[in-house]
C-alpha cells in the first residue's frame, strides 16, 4: 500500500502567507488601474464640459492648464498615495504577523523535539537500571556461589535504585519549579561546609574512578533553601562526571568577592560549543542527538540549576576550561555574616 505524503503545518502556513501576499499585490494593482481609469474618464468629461462652457473646440487642450484640472489632479494624487500608504501599512502588519507566527511555529517545533528527546532519554534512563536490578535479583535467586556474589549484586542494585531516585527527584523538582508550586525555605547556611559535604558525597558515590579536588574558602555563608540548592550543586557535579572525559578529574572551588559567593565546577572533557552555551540551560535540551550521544541524562539537570540559582537571586554561567572542558559557575549573594568574616580576616592579615 503506497504511503500517503504528509504536508507539515508550517508548509501549509507558508503557502497561505504567500497566497495572501500575491493576492494583495494583485488587488493593489487592480485598484491602482481602476483609479487611473476613473481619473482619465472624469478628466475627459470635465474637459468636454469646460470646452463647451468656454466655447472652445472639443480638441482644445486649454483645460489641462486650468485650476479645475489642477485640483482634480491633486485629488487623484492624494487618492493614489492613500492607496499606497494603506497598502504599505497592511503589508507591514501582515509581514509582522507572519513573522510572529513563524517564530511561534519554530518554538513549538523546537519544544516538540526537546520533549521527544526527553521521552527517548527517560526511556533509556529507566530501562538501564531496571534491567540491571532485574538481572541482579535473578542472579541472587539462582543457586551456587550466592555468598560470594550477593554483596556485589546488592551494591549494584542499590546504585541503580539511587540513579532512579535521583531521576525521579529531578523530574518532580523540575515540575514543581515550572509550576511555581515549590515552597522555598530559606535559612542561613554555612555554604563552605555545604559544598564540601556534597563534594565528599560525590567522591564516595563515584568511587576512585573520578578525582574530586576541592578549593573551598571557609566561612562563606548564604541564605538558601537546602533541598533545592543541594540539587543544583549536585546536578553540576553529576554533569561534570558525565562529561569529564578521559581526565576524570573535577575541580570544585568556592570563593567570595564583594559579597558574592562563587561556586565553580570544572571538568576536563570535550567542552561545549559557543552556539550551545546559551541553550544548555533550556528544559529538556541536551547537546547532540539523543540517539547518538553516550552520556546519560534527561536534559533537566542544568534547567534545575538555572531556575534554582535564579530563585536564590543569583546566576549561572558556563565558560571554557583550559586546556579543555567546561566550567559551570554559580554566583549567589553571600550573607552579611560571610562579608563580616571576610573583612575580619583581611584586618587580621
Domain residue limits, the chain: 9-111, 116-179, 187-347
Give alpha helix (H) positions in 180-288.
191-206, 226-242
Pairing relation of β-strands 221-224 and 260-267? Answer: unpaired
Tell me the average pLDDT across 208-230: 92
pLDDT value, residue 244: 80
Q: Please state the rounded mean pLDDT for residues 77-87.
A: 79
If you ran DSSP here, which 8-state letter would residue 65 be given? G
Looking at residue 149, its pLDDT comes to 65
For residues 230-244, give the mean pLDDT.
90
Would you state the pLDDT for residue 75? Answer: 82
Q: What is the mean pLDDT of the chain?
A: 79
Segment holding 309, helix H or strand E: helix 301-311
Span 299-343, pLDDT tens digits: 788 989 999 999 999 999 999 987 888 999 999 999 877 666 666
C-alpha cell, 193? 561546609
β-bridge mates for residue 254, sequence order: 216, 263
- CATH architecture for residues 187-347: 2-Layer Sandwich (3.30)
Amino acid at each position: 500500500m503506497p504511503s500517503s505524503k504528509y504536508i507539515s503545518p508550517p508548509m501549509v502556513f507558508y503557502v497561505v502567507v504567500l497566497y495572501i501576499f500575491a493576492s494583495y499585490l494583485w488587488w493593489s494593482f487592480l485598484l491602482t488601474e481602476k483609479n487611473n481609469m476613473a481619473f482619465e474618464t472624469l478628466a475627459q468629461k470635465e474637459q468636454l464640459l469646460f470646452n463647451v462652457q468656454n466655447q472652445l473646440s472639443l480638441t482644445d487642450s486649454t483645460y489641462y492648464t486650468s485650476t479645475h484640472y489642477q485640483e482634480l489632479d491633486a485629488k487623484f494624487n492624494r487618492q493614489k498615495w492613500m492607496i499606497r500608504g494603506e497598502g504599505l501599512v497592511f503589508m507591514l502588519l501582515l509581514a509582522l504577523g507572519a513573522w510572529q507566527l513563524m517564530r511561534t511555529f519554530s518554538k513549538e517545533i523546537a519544544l516538540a523535539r526537546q520533549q521527544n528527546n526527553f521521552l527517548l532519554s527517560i526511556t533509556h534512563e529507566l530501562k538501564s537500571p531496571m534491567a540491571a536490578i532485574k538481572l541482579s535479583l535473578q542472579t541472587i535467586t539462582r543457586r551456587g556461589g550466592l555468598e560470594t556474589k550477593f554483596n556485589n549484586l546488592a551494591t549494584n542494585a542499590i546504585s541503580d535504585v539511587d540513579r532512579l531516585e535521583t531521576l525521579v527527584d529531578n523530574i518532580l523538582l523540575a515540575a514543581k519549579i515550572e509550576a511555581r508550586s515549590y515552597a522555598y525555605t530559606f535559612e542561613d547556611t554555612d555554604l563552605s561546609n555545604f559544598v564540601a559535604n556534597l563534594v565528599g558525597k560525590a567522591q564516595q558515590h563515584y568511587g576512585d574512578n573520578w578525582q574530586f579536588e576541592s578549593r573551598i574558602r571557609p566561612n562563606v555563608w548564604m541564605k538558601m533553601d537546602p533541598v533545592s540548592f543541594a540539587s543544583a550543586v549536585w546536578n553540576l557535579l553529576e554533569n561534570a562526571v558525565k562529561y569529564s572525559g578521559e581526565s576524570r578529574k573535577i575541580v570544585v572551588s568556592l570563593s567570595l568577592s564583594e559579597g558574592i559567593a562563587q561556586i565553580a565546577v570544572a571538568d576536563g572533557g570535550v567542552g561545549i560549543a559557543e552556539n550551545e552555551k546559551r541553550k544548555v540551560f533550556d528544559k529538556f535540551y541536551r547537546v547532540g542527538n539523543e540517539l547518538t550521544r553516550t552520556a546519560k541524562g534527561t536534559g533537566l539537570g542544568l534547567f534545575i540549576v538555572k531556575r534554582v540559582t535564579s530563585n536564590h537571586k543569583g546566576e549561572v554561567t558556563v565558560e571554557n576550561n583550559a586546556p579543555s572542558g567546561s566550567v559551570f559557575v554559580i554566583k549567589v549573594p553571600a550573607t552579611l555574616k560571610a562579608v563580616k568574616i571576610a573583612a575580619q580576616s583581611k584586618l587580621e592579615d
